[in-house]
Amino acid sequence: MKIQIRPGLSAIAVTSAAFVAGLVAPAAHATGVAAGTSINNVATATYTSGTGSGSVTSNTVTVKVAELLNVAVASLNASPVAAGASSAVLAYQVTNTGNGSEAFTVTADPNVAGNAFVGTIQQVVIDSNGNGTYDPGVDTVIANGTATAQLPEDGNVKVFVLVSLPSGVTDAQTSQVKLRAVSTTGSGTPGTLLAGKGDGGVDAVVGASHADQNALGTIIASLASISLAKSATIADPFGGTAPLPGATVTYTLVAHATGSGTATGIHVTDAFPVGTTYQPGTMKLNGAGLTDAAGDDAGTANASGIDVTLGTMTGGTPDETVTFQVKIN
């Protein structure tokens, strides 16, 4: 009698190879067959006995695929994101590269070795409408260190981290923020078995990513500094420049902005010197006359002095110049 045995399916061998590969190197996409899938296998034996032949099948062996826990995290900012008067918005993507549905705890950490300063985490936000852009009031704010919703196999979510500058930072200093994503089912050494913790009660196994990954995003301080230079010219009653009683003093105030950022709410104020009298209607901004009355333009003059609103200046933009005149009593 001659007997041949043929396996009914080779899916077990394929799945095993995929499982091992998932433990050896991180994958860009989900690994292998979906968790909880039943793989059935039946063997057949054919035989000849005397002048007859026959065949017989084995019992069915069913293997349920375990859940492989894997995650990938990437920064979506190709260059440092500027932070100044407003917070920087760093964007990351968390991808479920396992073979089952999984949620991930996301934590933003500004304490990264080598940082010039430690940024302040203002908010962690989930891109709830999926458009890839931070939409205040639309996207979902979550507490730092809490979990995302369940992500399907190969599913991803974008996470925005809003970071503000601490005091004492100087222009162009940089700092990194680490976003860490950890599987809520478990993490640790690749190959760690978590019995019954996978989808539908199957076993879960920690993959090559340790089910715990992170990525770094960078912010750069974009600040402006304002300097103010003051000078005076004198015209006396005799056509000279002596500071005599009756001489007119023209004061010039030049505001200059440096740095890569913007300064806002800039006011230039100057009190009239004792022993002088302001000459009404002589206040100017960049050569254009200002009225002395409050509320109708950028300047105000009263008994105490002048106040000129410059508003906003960005480093490298033209200077703002204020002039006014007083007469020596």
Q: What is the set of domains in the chain, with CATH numbers?
A: 2-68 (no CATH), 69-221 (2.60.40.10), 224-328 (2.60.40.740)
Burial (Cβ within 10 Å: 0-12, 13-18, ≥19) of residue 201: exposed
Considering only CA atoms, which of 292, 305, 215 is closest in space to residue 251?
A: 305
Which pLDDT does position 11 carry in this prediction? Answer: 38
276-253-270 Cα angle (round to 5):
45
CA distance 34 to 229: 70
Return the SS3 of 14: helix
Structure tokens at 3: 């007997």
Which pLDDT does position 29 carry in this prediction? Answer: 60
Which pLDDT does position 19 carry in this prediction? Answer: 36
- CB distance 102 to 179 below 8 Å: no
- CB distance 314 to 260 below 8 Å: no
Burial (Cβ within 10 Å: 0-12, 13-18, ≥19) of residue 207: buried
Which pLDDT does position 85 carry in this prediction? Answer: 87
CA distance 299 to 283: 8
Provide the CB-side half-sphere exposure for 93 (13 A, CA): 15
CA distance 323 to 235: 15
CA distance 232 to 280: 18
Rounded to two decimals, the pTM is: 0.79
What length is written for the chain? 329
Beta strands in 58-210 (DSSP E): 61-64, 67-69, 71-75, 81-83, 88-96, 104-109, 120-126, 140-142, 146-147, 156-164, 174-183, 193-194, 204-206
CA distance 268 to 239: 30
Return the SS3 of 16: helix
Q: 211-240 burial, b for 16+ CB within 10 Å, e for fewer?
A: bbbbbebbbbbbbbebeeeeeeeeebeeee
Phi, psi dihedrals of residue 22, rounded to the nearest 5°:
-65, -25
Which pLDDT does position 6 carry in this prediction? Answer: 47
DSSP element (H, E) containing 290:
none
CA distance 277 to 228: 23
pLDDT tens per residue across all 329 residues of the chain: 444 444 443 333 333 333 333 333 344 566 689 999 999 999 999 999 999 999 999 999 999 999 999 999 999 999 999 999 899 999 999 999 999 999 999 999 999 999 999 999 999 999 999 999 999 999 999 999 999 999 999 999 999 999 999 999 999 999 999 999 999 999 999 999 999 999 999 999 999 999 999 999 999 999 999 999 999 999 999 999 999 999 999 999 999 999 999 999 999 999 999 999 999 999 999 999 999 999 999 999 999 999 999 999 999 999 999 999 999 99
Phi, psi dihedrals of residue 16, rounded to the nearest 5°:
-60, -40
DSSP element (H, E) containing 13:
helix 11-24
DSSP element (H, E) containing 70:
none
